[in-house]
């Protein structure tokens, strides 16, 4: 799910003023809604880490020796780092624009908002983190 979220809007421009909102609708979609690739490192790195962890767990998770050697712990670390990166990206949502552009957007009444991709990405990250914690706990009980 996090990998698919990379291609959905992560940052969306929106305005309260009807005239400004209509002007935003006339702009190309790529200028109004940005996917993770154009949003920046903090947007695309987290989901890619989740993809990498998922591939490793799917490929090697069925082997007992690999699981005992620490695969669940590796998954936990990847999921935690991924969630931290996505949360940092949420707080740094305005940094994808330079100071002049941010000022211009603020003066025009245009706000920066999280898109559906950002929500799905963080949801996938939290789900993976919870699953990794449960997997580590299961491994400790054995």
Domain locations in the chain as residue ranges: 2-26+34-141
- What's the whole-number mean pLDDT along residues 110-119? 87
Per-residue model confidence (pLDDT) at position 97: 76
* Residue 56, Cβ density class (10 Å: 0-12 exposed, 13-18 middle, ≥19 buried): middle
> Between vectors from CA 85 to CA 79 and to CA 90, what angle results, nearest 5°?
125
DSSP class of residue 96 equals G
Determine if the pTM surpasses 0.85: no
* pLDDT greater at residue 19 or residue 87: 87
Place of tokens 């069925």: 62
């Amino acid at each position: 799910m996090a990998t698919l979220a990379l291609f959905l809007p992560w940052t969306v421009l929106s305005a309260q003023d009807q005239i400004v909102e209509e002007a935003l609708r006339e702009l190309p979609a790529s200028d109004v809604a940005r996917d993770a690739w154009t949003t920046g490192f903090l947007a695309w790195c987290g989901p890619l880490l989740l993809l990498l962890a998922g591939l490793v767990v799917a490929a090697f998770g069925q082997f007992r020796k690999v699981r005992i050697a620490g695969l669940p712990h590796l998954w936990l670390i990847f999921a935690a780092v991924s969630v931290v990166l996505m949360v940092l990206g949420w707080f740094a949502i305005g940094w994808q624009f330079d100071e002049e552009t941010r000022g211009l957007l603020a003066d025009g009444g245009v706000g920066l908002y999280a898109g559906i991709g950002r929500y799905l990405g963080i949801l996938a990250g939290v789900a993976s983190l919870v699953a990794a914690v449960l997997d580590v706990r299961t491994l400790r009980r054995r």
